[in-house]
Chains A and B, each alone.
Chain A
Amino acid sequence: MNGAVGSGMGWLSSVGVLPEIVLIGTALFVMSTEMLLGRRQASRLPMLGALGAILALLAAGHTYRAGPYSVFLGAIAVDGWTAVMRGIVIGAGVLALISGHHSHPLAAWASRATKGEEEKECEPERDGGSGREEESFLPPEGTAPGEFTGLILLSLAGLTFLAASRDLLITVIALELASLPLYPLVVRARTRAGVEAGVKYFLMGATASAVMLFGLSLIVGVSGTTRYAAVRFSNTDELLGILLFLSGLFFKIAAVPFHAWMPDAYEAAPAPVGAFMAAAVKAGAFGALGRIVISGGAAPQVLTLAVIGLAAPTLFLGNGAALFQQRLGRLWGYSSISHTGFLLMGIAASLQLSATGGLVATAVYLAAYVPAVIGGFCILGIIENSSPEDPLAAGKRSVDRLKGFFTRSPFLAVAFTITLASMAGLPPTAGFWAKLSVFKAAYEAGHIGLLLVALFNSLMAAYYYVRMIRMTFSDPETAGGEEKEAGWRKPPMLYGIVAGFSAIVLLALGIFPAALFDPIVTAMKRIVL
């Protein structure tokens, strides 16, 4: 730290919250300039936001190199865990912003959907007309790209605070900062389903926050402090408090039984927002869980049992529901729930082991999961938006839509296959190493039963991921095939780029996993306890 002060820009690195300052600054700038810009210029704002996020990423690296330290009287830790989570969360944000650039396709349907809900019922076979070709993926009126960018950036700032916060109160505030922008984002596609999902998410989220605050009040009432380090798990009231407090975080990661909002939200949200929620929000909440493990002192057996008790049903429900799910968006949602279960295994192990051992596994899993889920969401976005039928009409969102994807875009289909293989944990993809590290942590912690449950669930998961691979490569539906061909629209470029990039990252990390493990293992040695 002393060395850092000496160098020219040294003072910057001592500003521990520099990345968050950059994020919030960019958000404010983007949101305030939007109204000054024309539609065309404004549509480039997500790219600007992505640049700002990349800048925040650099700032995170800069502060990390200054050595582990804490700021704000020890309330915010700037250490290895913070750096890892900032890297994962902001990286996810960058990808989501890039995929969100220029493409708010669902809003285009939304305006139509509100115009003529009945029309659609009467004449299902409208031509996949040229008129639609023009409006294709340009942002229609009323979808402010700056608003989208700003909300994502603000949420990102909250999420990065989550991993850094060593204070219960700051965690609550950070969680609210992360959540509030999500509610308007979910309802961006102002469709009936979107609004329903948004309201559901909002009501449940508000309830979860209330429960969390109640837990906080219990802890503060008994211990008189809001610091994690001061929480004594031996005290029953404080233990109850921390369990209630944690349920707010379990809601965000959609652990069973706090998961009900997720499939709806995933199905209704536009792809970039869904990707952001599945990747960044989940990672951020796990960042907070990890911080609690690091700072919270020795955990009692009952807490470990509680986490295991959440992980096993989360695995079973996520995979079991995905097994028979026919709708693509919901399938993706349930599969994401099952990944929460695998991630919770890492948390359970880290409660048992020294904090860092299990958290390395969790971080590795997140780092492998984030590109996969974002890439997958982009492909789903392409599939749902690129064929002429209205994607919001009932029955049109089934997995059958994947059929013929390979004939239409062979490269994207291969990228999707890599993504799915990674999700299923098949080598040579990053997902395999993620599974390996989590299973290893569970074994080392002695959670053999949970390990067996996870193995069984891996097999179940392989089944439905492979089913999606099968759909991707099967022939397009013959009935009216030509018509569909004609109406097949070129997929939005940036979705494809993000999906392809993610697939390449997954494959590269799968073959050279040292790039995945080494930074995380190194960072976890530099922790503020």
Chain B
Amino acid sequence: MTVTLARLAFLLPAVTLLLLGFFHRRGEAAKRVSVVSAALSLIAVTALGLHVPQNGMTVLIDANWIPALGARWKMVLTAPGYLMLWVTAFSTLLAVAASVREISAEKGPACALHFAALFLIQTALYGVFTARDLLLFFLSYETVLIPMYLLILIWGGRKRRYAALKFLLFTIFGSLPLFVSIMILGVVSARVYGNMVFDLDILIKLRPDLLATTLKIFSLPVTLKGLLFAGFLLAFLVKIPLWPLHTWLPDAHTEAPTAGSIVLAGVLLKMGTYGLAVIALPLFPSLAREWAPFFSVLAVCGILFGALASYAQDDAKRLVAYSSVSHMGFVVLGLFSFTVEGYLGAFLQMAAHGVATGVLFYFVGALYRRRHERKLTSFGDLATIEPALTGWAGVAAFASAALPGTAGFAAEILIFFGVFSTRPLLAFLVAPAVILSASYMLKFFRFVAFEEADPEFRRRWDGILPEELFFVALCAILLVVVGVAPHGTVYSWIRPAIEGLLGGLR
């Protein structure tokens, strides 16, 4: 039952992708197909939630994939992975909804390509969050690249070429070392087991962080385990992105079309944190503890820097983009605390940030579509123009700023607890971020909702669409419900799995 449902949910975007090829002349039909598919996929993934194992994992598929390399097509369902699956399905629906209004149906092939790219990303992300074989993980992880590049390149803003190339080169720069690390890990496993193994469960038992091998690179001695761990870290930290590797993010987020921003901020960044939590740290627990102070400090820098930079922006999308740097810093900080609280908070933050940032980009996209300008000063007085939308968007914005009673708060407070119990000094340092995040979100909200309206904005506002109100309100409600009852909605679900994950790190 679980397996069938999961396969259905995963096959849906892949089939839609192929189906869209037949609609390359009919943009409207492509849009309809996409909406139906994204909605069905969300329903299927939600239904899958009833079957998520509390502890351990349900194997969805485990088949011989590449016998010559010992790689297996192994996908499993775990509670933390499921959380990300749900965010993926939700973000895709949100992105499709945004694109239905934003992308012109007149150019049929381009329209079909846009939705095909979204579904390819969705398919790959399902793979990322379930893969239990490193090669399969890497395959899924990298498949996201080209469609995301095309999304930014073709439908992006004015500086789209630059932003798309920067995104691509940064990511490839990060993932080449990951690729090499995975490959070397396979070669190392072959020395132990006789043939190569990429199954994560077996590799974790191999304890690659205890390898004593040293390599000579241009006659410089380097420990192999350090090199391998660095390879994993570099890929994931670029993706997250951790300060100071974040510079691709503001450009990519700002220039991407709304759908691209939603998917990028909502889920793509989480590939990095998910990989860090589920792959890199469990593979190299002792090294991770050794290096944790360094990365914790970087995370704190990222939190503060991201918040300050966000406050300084006068471009609505850029402001939200920099806030992502800050929020993702919290996730890294929580993970490197190696406490149950830190981990729980980090995973909730991944989900909450996915939804909150997704809906903020959706909201900004709705404004941009009418005004064709992203400057904060070009909006205003939305509170009187569209009170209902403003109200719900406000809830979402405050959830993003981690106001108590929202999911963001529930996550960040736990991360605080986790950090405070291990590195109290860092917890003090990070405290100002609370004020900073409130200040940039208040700034954003003031300019959009209360400042005197830009006359052009008022003139071009053509009334709200029902689905815009629906999605913004839905996200706001979700964030508040999870924020009020984090334990019942998320924590109690993922806690056993998180404890299992942490147990492996000790």
Contact = CB atoms under 8 A, between A and B. Distances in A.
Interface in B115-161: 138-139, 142-143, 145-146, 149-150, 153-154, 161
B21 interface: yes
B215 interface: yes
Interface stretch (B173-181, B269-277, B416-424, B461-469): B173-181
B6 to A, nearest CB: 18
A459 B176 contact: yes
Interface residues of A, number: 41
Contacts of B145: 426
A462 B168 contact: yes
Interface stretch (B65-73, B304-312, B471-479): B65-73
A289 interface: no
Contact of B184 (A407, A443, A449, A474): A443
B139 A473 contact: no
A334 B111 CA distance: 34
Contacts of B139: 427-428, 432, 510-511
A449 B179 contact: no
B146 A417 contact: yes
A448 B215 contact: yes
Interface in A436-467: 436, 439-440, 443-444, 448-449, 451-452, 455, 458-459, 462-463, 466
A426 B172 CA distance: 9
A449 B218 contact: yes
Contacts of A199: none
Nearest to A515: B66
B24 interface: yes
A426 B109 contact: no
B478 to A, nearest CB: 33
B66 A414 contact: no
Contacts of B183: 436, 439-440, 443
A406 interface: yes
B165 A470 contact: yes
Contact of B217 (A410, A444, A448, A518): A448
Contact of A513 (B66, B153, B218): B66
B218 A407 contact: no
Given A440-B187, A448-B215, A426 B146 contact: yes
B200 interface: no
Contacts of A11: none
A473 B146 contact: no
A407 B21 contact: no
A458 B169 CA distance: 11
Contact of B113 (A410, A436, A469, A511): A410
A8 to B, nearest CB: 33
Contact of B161 (A448, A470, A517, A521): A470
Contact of A432 (B24, B142, B165): B142
Interface string A411-442: 10010010001000011100011001001100
Contact of A514 (B65, B173, B176): B65
Contacts of B186: 440
Contacts of A426: 142, 145-146, 172
A322 to B, nearest CB: 16
Given A410-B24, A414-B113, A470 B164 contact: yes
Indicate the size class of the contact surface on chain B: 35 or more
B216 interface: yes
A284 to B, nearest CB: 24
Contacts of B138: 427
A469 B66 contact: no
A440 B67 CA distance: 16
A513 B187 CA distance: 18
B110 interface: yes
B107 interface: yes
A15 B107 CA distance: 58
A406 B168 contact: no
B136 to A, nearest CB: 10
A470 B153 contact: yes
Contacts of B215: 448
B169 A462 contact: yes
Contacts of A433: 66
Nearest to A449: B218
A449 B110 CA distance: 44
Contact of A439 (B110, B164, B180): B180
Contacts of A407: 107, 109-110
Contacts of A451: 180
Contacts of B21: 411
B172 A406 contact: no
Most buried by A among B64, B180, B184: B180
Given A427-B138, A427-B142, A443-B187, A466 B149 contact: yes
A432 to B, nearest CB: 7
Interface in B191-221: 215-218
A518 B215 CA distance: 31
Contacts of B109: 406-407, 410
A426 B187 CA distance: 21
Given A426-B142, A451-B180, 8 more contacts: A406-B113, A407-B109, A448-B217, A452-B217, A455-B177, A469-B150, A473-B153, A513-B69
12 contacts: A414-B113, A433-B66, A436-B69, A440-B187, A449-B218, A452-B217, A455-B176, A459-B169, A459-B176, A469-B150, A473-B154, A474-B153
Interface of B: 21, 24, 64-69, 107, 109-110, 112-113, 138-139, 142-143, 145-146, 149-150, 153-154, 161, 164-165, 168-169, 172-173, 176-177, 179-180, 183-184, 186-187, 215-218
- The 5 A-B pairs with the shortest beta carbon distances in the complex, nearest first, are A410-B109, A517-B68, A427-B142, A521-B68, A427-B139
